Amino acid sequence: MKVTAISICPPAGAGSNPKVTPELLASSLAKYSRSNKGLDAILGSIDWSDPDKSVDAIFRFVDYGHASITGMTGGIAVAVDGLSMFLAYKIFDIAQLCDGQESSTRYIRLDKTSIPGADEVGIPEKCAEGWEAFTARAFDVYREVYDMLDDKVKRNPELIRLPNGVDAKVVDRLRKNYALDRARYLIPFASKTNAAYVMTARVWADTLRQLDSLPLPEARTCAEMIRAELGKFVPRMTKHSFKTPASESQANQLLLHSINEIKRGGVSISNIPDEVYLEAMNGRPPFLPDLQSVPEAFLGKKNRYCVPGTAARRAVVRAAWNNMAIAELRDLNRHRSGFRFSPLCPRGFYLPADVKHPEIGGLLSDYKALAESIASQGGGAPAYVYALLLGTQVAFEHSTHLDKFIYEIELRTGMGAHFRYADHLAKAAETLTRKMPELAPFIQTGNAEPEF
C-alpha cells in the first residue's frame, strides 16, 4: 500500500492572491470570524518568514473548538494505491462527506496478483491457505467467464444497444463493458484497487479515528500511513485522529452483529429476489407550510442538474434494498447526500442470468465454507469481509432528501449506467411514485437496460 497526499498550486491567474497552508488558512479564518478588521489586516499580521509561528500564535489567541476550525482547511487530497476493495468501500462508508473516486472494474486489469497477502488483511492462520487458493480460483473463473461473454457479444452484437453511427472504438468499449459488468460478481472483495479521497482536516480526523478503531490490520496500517501524510499538511490537527473508546465500541458492535448473523444462519449462496423498502416523509410544521406545489418545484427542469424547488428539497426519503450486491454497493455507497448504511452481512449471492461456468457451483460452495470458517475464528473473525465476492448480496439503506434521491434515480438509470443499478433504482422509482403519484411526471428514468 502506498499513500500520497497531493499539494495544490495556485493557477497563473491567481498568482497575486494570498497563499496559505491548510492550517494557516484555518487559523486565519478562525481569527477572521472574531474580528472586524478584515482579511488583509489578519494576513498582514503574519510573519511570512515563519508562518508556523503565526499559526501557533493565532491558535493561542483564538478560543476555538477543534472540530469547527479543522473544517476550514480546505480539501486535502490523498491517493491510496493498493488498498483492498473492502477498505476503499469502508473509507467511503465512514467519510460520508468526502469527495473521491475508486478504480473501476471496467478500466483496470484484475487477476490473482491483485490479492494482498493473508497476513496483510488479518486472515486467521488456520484459514490462510484455503483463502489464498479460493481467491486465486475465483480469478481464474472470472477471467474465463469474461472471455466467454466477450466472445458471445462479438457473435451477437445485438446484445448491446449500440447507438446509431458510433465508431469502432465505442463498439469495442461497449462490448467490453457488457462482459466486464457481468463477470465482475466473481471478483474477490479483497482485491487491490486504488482510491482517491478529498476531505477537510475535520473529516479526515474523524475518518482516521474510525479506521484506527477497526480490528483489521489493513485498516490500522492505512490510518497510520494517511496520518503520516496529513502530518505534512495539518500537523497540529492529526492529534484528533486516533481511536477513542467510543469509536472502538461502535466499530466492534457493527462487526460483531454480522459475525453473529453468519454464525447463526450461515452464508447463503442463493440469489435473493428483489425487495425495495421506501419511506417518504413529507410532514410540515404548521408555521412553515409549503411555499409551492410539486409541479412548481420542478418548473423549468431539463435534466438532473437543474435546481429543484423547496417542496422537493424539504421532503425526506429512506430507501433500502434487501439484496444489493457488493459490486453495486461500491458505487451507490459514494453518493454524498444523507446517510448510507450496510452492516455487510452476507444474505445471498447475485449472478446475471447469462453468467454460466461449470465451476461456479463449486466456487460458491467454497466461498460459503470459507466465509463461515473465518467468522468462527474468534479474534480473526472480522476478516470474514475479505472472503466475500462482489456478487455477495447485503442489505443497504440510503436516507436522503427527495431531490437528491431523484437525482440518484436519474443518474443510475441513465445512459452508460450499469444494468443492475438501473434495475435497483428503477424499482425504487416505481415505489416512490406509488407513494407520491404527483412526482411521476418529473422523474426522468433513463433507458439503461435492466437485467431480467
pLDDT, one tens digit per residue, over 339-355 is: 999 999 999 999 999 99
The mean per-residue pLDDT over the stretch 429-436 comes to 96
Backbone Cα Rg of the chain: 24
Mean pLDDT across the stretch 37-62? Answer: 76
How far apart are alpha carbons 419 and 355 in whole angstroms?
14
* Alpha helix ranges (H) inside 116-244: 125-155, 168-183, 201-213, 217-230
The domain defined by 276-442 carries CATH number 3.30.1360.170: yes
For 351, the enclosing helix (H) or strand (E) is none
Of 44, 101, 48, 39, nearest in space to 72 by CA: 39
pLDDT at site 4: 96
Amino acid letter at 102? Answer: E
Q: Delimit the domains of the chain by residue range.
A: 1-105+192-243, 276-442
Burial call 31-58: b when 16+ CB within 10 Å, e when fewer: bbeeeeeeeeebbeebeeeebeebbeeb
Which residues does residue 105 pair with via DSSP β-bridges, in sequence order?
none
Query: Do the domains 276-442 and 1-105+192-243 match in fold?
Result: yes
62 — pLDDT class (breaks 50, 70, 90) = very low
Q: Which of 104, 118, 123, 178 is nearest to 147 (CA)?
A: 178
pLDDT at position 163: 67
- The pLDDT tens digits of the residues spanning 121-131 come to 999 999 999 99
Most distant CA pair in the chain, distance:
75
Dihedral sign of CA atoms 333, 334, 337, 338 in order: positive
What local confidence, expressed as pLDDT, does residue 185 receive? 97
- Look up residue 375 and give its three cell numbers: 467468522
d(CA 93, CA 337): 12
Q: Side chain identity at 156, as an amino acid letter?
A: N
pLDDT above 60 (res 452): no
Q: Closest Cα to residue 271, out of 319, 325, 331?
A: 325
Beta strands in 226-384 (DSSP E): 276-281, 316-325, 339-341, 348-349
With CA atoms as reference, report the closest residue to 321 among 309, 337, 333, 304: 333
CATH architecture of 1-105+192-243: 2-Layer Sandwich (3.30)
